[in-house]
Every structure is written in C-alpha cells, then in structure tokens.
Amino acid sequence: MLLNDPGAAHWPVDPARRDLVEEFRRKPRGPHSDELQKLLHRMRWSGVGQRHVLIVLEPNRRWMLGRLPGRRGAPVETFPNRVFTSLADAEWAVFVMRWEALTGQRIEETGDKPE
C-alpha cells in the first residue's frame, strides 16, 4: 500500500528565523519565499499535533477555528470564541500556534496586520 507518512516532513525549523514569521505575518496567503514555503510545508503536512481547520459559518465571510480529532467518526473539536472574518487572519492565528508547537516560542500578536 502506498501511504502518506505524517512524520515525513522533516525540514528543521530554526527558532531564530523570526524573519520567516514576519514574512508570513505580512503575507499569510503568499506568495512566499523558498524557505517560508518549506516551513509551511512542515506545518501543513502533519498539521503539527491534531490538525487545526476552519469551519465555515457564512460562506466566504466567517469562519470558526476547529480541530480534527485524528480518528474517523469522532466529532470535530470547535472553538466558538475564535471566529475569523478573513482567511488571512485565520492563517496567521494557526501559524502562531504551530510556530509555538514547533519551537516553544510564543509570538506576540503585535505589529502589522496581515494584508
């Protein structure tokens, strides 16, 4: 059987590369530099822990943060107090969580808003 291995994405994340964080903060929807693409592949391939997703509240207008349970038939976990009105905001919010999970570093939610 040909399977996708969730552990296969192994690009080493350097916690010192805050420039990649700032690049993503400026442009969550891309286009992205080569190294930011690699960081995003690392984050997106496995989801880092259980995969965060969006749940559409209003088509193309409002989304709620959710998390897949990693098991068929189990409910999607929802976060009703985390609602986004732009996909860029949502991408940034999940990036912040994944960066912390990968590096142990918190990102202060200050600075420029995403485009």
Partner 1 sequence: MTDTTAVLGYAWPLVVSPGEEVAFHLSSAILESAEATLLRVRCADPDPDGPGLRFHQPGTPIDGPVPLRNQPLRPGSCALVPDAPALGRAGSLSLGLFFYPTAPGAGAQTILSRWREDTREGWRLALTEEARLELTIGAAGCVWSVTAPRPVMEREWIFVAAGLDASAGRITVTQESLDPQAGRDTGCTATAEGPRDPAWPADTALVIAAHALESGAAPRTGGHLDGKIDRPRLLSVAPDAARLRTLAENLTPHPADPDLIAAWDFSRDMSTDTVRDLSANRLDGALRQMPMRAATGANWDGRTVQWTEAPELYGAIHFHSDDMHDAGWTPDLRLTVPGDWRSGFYALRLRARQGQEDPVESFVAFFVRAPLGRPRSELAFVASTATFLAYANSALRLDQVHAESMLEGLIALSRDDVYLQEHRELGLSTYDTHSDGSGWCYSTAKRPILNMRPRGATFNYGNDTHIIDWFEQIGQDYDIIVDDDIHRHGAQTLAPYRCVITGSHPEYFSRSMIEAFDSYQRSGGRHIYLGGNGFYWRIGWHPTQPHTMEIRRGAIGLRTWEGEPGENALSFTGEPSGLWRASGRPPQRLVGVGFDAQVFTRSYPYAWREPARDPRVAWAMEGIDLDAPLGDFGLRGGGAAGLEVDRVEPTLSSPPHLLWLATADRLDYGGVPTLEELRTLHRGTMGDQNARVRADIAFFPTARGGAVFSTGSIAWACALSHNGYENSVSRLTGNILRRFLDPAPFEGFDT
- Residue 87 touching partner 1 (CB under 8 A): yes
83 Cβ contact partners less than 8 Å away, ≥ 6 residues apart: 57, 62, 63, 64, 65
Per CB under 8 A, does 61 bind partner 1?
yes
26 binds partner 1 (CB under 8 A): no
Phi and psi at 103, nearest 5°, equal: -115, -15
Nearest approach in angstroms of CB 74 to partner 1 is 7
Can you list the alpha helix ranges (DSSP code H) found in the chain? 18-26, 34-46, 87-103
Site of interaction with partner 1 (CB under 8 A):
1-6, 29-31, 37, 41, 44-47, 51-61, 63, 66, 68-69, 72-76, 87, 90-91, 94
